[in-house]
Amino acid sequence: MTLSIGDTAPDFTLPTDTGSSITLSALRGKKVIVYFYPKDATPGCTTEACSFRDEKPHFDKKNVIILGISKDSIKNHKQFKEKEQLNFTLASDETGDVCETYGVWKEKSMYGKTYFGIERSTFLIDEQGKIMAIWRKVSVPGHIDEVLKSIE
């Protein structure tokens, strides 16, 4: 499935690091940043998460919720969140169903080996649940600035 700007964001309910679950459609009335990242506590993912952490006051002023999703377990999310003092919710998609629905579960290659993993991607969803912006194959440096500009 390929999602495009203007599409209704596919709904999901996932467990979170808080011990509860989060449902995308329950967040209607606010903009939501859903960012998919490969793995907790890896260099690029830590840099990206800390960028969202540091800029959260700007997102809060615009009534924007930040939600990070990976296939890591809730236990790993809790450790990552605590270590990096993250101030937003991390959701666990251990089955990969949401990753598949959003088209971020991709074949990748490194050092000549191919494998499947999450393609770093960010979706900005408006108050009515429509996709406003999509960033695929995200390069972490400068990404947070692009996302901030899009909510202005």
Q: Which residues are catalytic?
A: 45
Q: Are 106 and 119 in contact (CB under 8 A)?
A: yes
Amino acid at 98: V
Residue 13 belongs to what H/E stretch?
Answer: strand 13-15
The DSSP output letter for 38 is S
Query: Could you give the 3-state DSSP secondary structure of residue 6?
Result: coil
Residue 43 belongs to what H/E stretch?
Answer: helix 43-61
Query: What string of H, E and C letters represents the secondary structure of 44-92?
Result: HHHHHHHHHHHHHHHHHHCCEEEEEEECCCHHHHHHHHHHHCCCCEEEE
